[in-house]
Amino acid sequence: METTFAKDMLTMMQIKANLEACILGKAAEIELLLTAVLAGGHVLLEDVPGTGKTVLIKALAKSVQGNFRRIQCNPDLLPTDITGVSIYHPKLETFIFRPGPVFAHILLVDEINRASTKTQSALFEAMEEHHVTVDGDSHELPEPFLLLATQNPVDFDGTYVLPEAQLDRFMLKLSLGYPDREAEKMLLSTHTGKHPVSWLEAVLDVEGLKQIQQRVSQVYVDDAIADYVVSVSRETREHPAVFLGASPRATIALLQAAKALAYLRSRTYVTPDDVKYLAPFVFGHRLILQPEARMDGGALDALFQSIFQQVPVPVRVDH
């Protein structure tokens, strides 16, 4: 067991090194992305253009050897452009299903908010149940299936707001932000020639990823930690500043992410700090604040500070 654990840690360090070679100065964000990958969750990357969202996902896809597909969203994209379509074969006198790009291990949905709401709804079933239904027939997606979407929060021309039901299917929402001065200076020497993504090599195959995900699911969670996760989730529903709190799906996602983060940090047990660190990234995009709370620019930060003050932290946790 210790040998397997050590190999997993080495593998994740190599993947981190690949991603950090392409996206400089964003170690925390890369750790969060890998947390979602190990937990089997989907990720929404929201940031202004040019901060490296698409590059980060491409680097992950090259590091994890599997089927990678990309969908560039636009208003005239149709649901069948994602799921696939049944085409009549004259010789066989039957319909043959041609799978769409959703049949991938890692799916990049670029500028997801530029697709119409009808097209976005084609992803609902895939994100939650890992299969799609076309012409009444269900088609299973490959495992693992990870959907990584990007969107621009500034340019609203020709965009559609993601419905709450879809946001709730993303385990984490991340923002890369601008690099610091030193990282941006390093970009001038590392990214002006051949891009680092082009020379990345695969570190892990999909079967290996599935095995690590299985081991992550077995990370120990003390009953006090489970109570803490539920209490934090329920507090979001009862807080006066919140109109719509975290769903039970969000509660499950927080615990799954906490297990993955613990494993990434070389632990086989979850701590309260794992839960506190991840809660804003897991719950933030799911919550709808009251109108008066939304007017405050730092409302979410203040909200989580208030929630953590209200919910007692477990003082004794068995490992």
Give the pLDDT mean for 40-66: 91
Q: Distance between CA atoms of 95 and 83, rounded to whole angstroms?
A: 16
Which tens digits make up the pLDDT trace of 91-149? 877 888 899 999 999 999 999 989 988 888 889 889 999 999 888 888 999 999 999 99
Relative to beta strand 42-46, strand 146-151 is parallel
**CA dist list (Å): 45 to 51, 242, 249:** 10, 23, 20
Say what the pLDDT of residue 297 is.
56
Q: How far apart are CA 83 and CA 101, in angstroms?
A: 7
Lowest-confidence segment of 33-42, 149-158, 196-205, 247-256 by average pLDDT:
149-158
What is the reported pLDDT for 192? 66
Q: How confident is the model at residue 315 (pLDDT cuts 50, 70, 90)?
A: confident
Q: Fill in the DSSP letter of residue 74.
A: -
Helices 223-238 + 248-264 axis angle, to 10: 140
| 274 has pLDDT over 70 | yes
| Interval 78-93: pLDDT, tens | 999 999 988 888 887 7
Of 127, 150, 130, the closest CA to residue 140 belongs to 130
Claim: this prediction has a pTM higher than 0.85 = yes
pLDDT of residue 156: 65
Q: What is the pLDDT of residue 93?
A: 76
- For residue range 162-219, what is the model confidence (pLDDT) as tens digits? 888 899 999 999 999 888 888 888 888 776 667 788 888 899 999 999 999 999 999 9
Range 149-153 average pLDDT: 88
Lowest mean pLDDT among 46-55, 107-116, 262-271: 46-55
Question: Long-range contact list for 80-89, CB < 8 A, 24+ apart?
Answer: 80/134, 81/119, 82/119, 82/122, 82/123, 83/122, 83/126, 83/132, 83/134, 84/132, 84/134, 84/139, 85/134, 86/134, 86/135, 86/137
d(CA 225, CA 180): 36
Pick from 25, 136, 17, 8: nearest CA to 83: 136
User: What percent of the chain is modeled with pLDDT above 90?
Assistant: 62
Paired with 131 in beta bridges are 140
∠ CA(317), CA(36), CA(106), 5° rounding? 155
- pLDDT at residue 1 in the model: 58
Residue 147 has phi, psi (to 5 degrees) of -105, 125
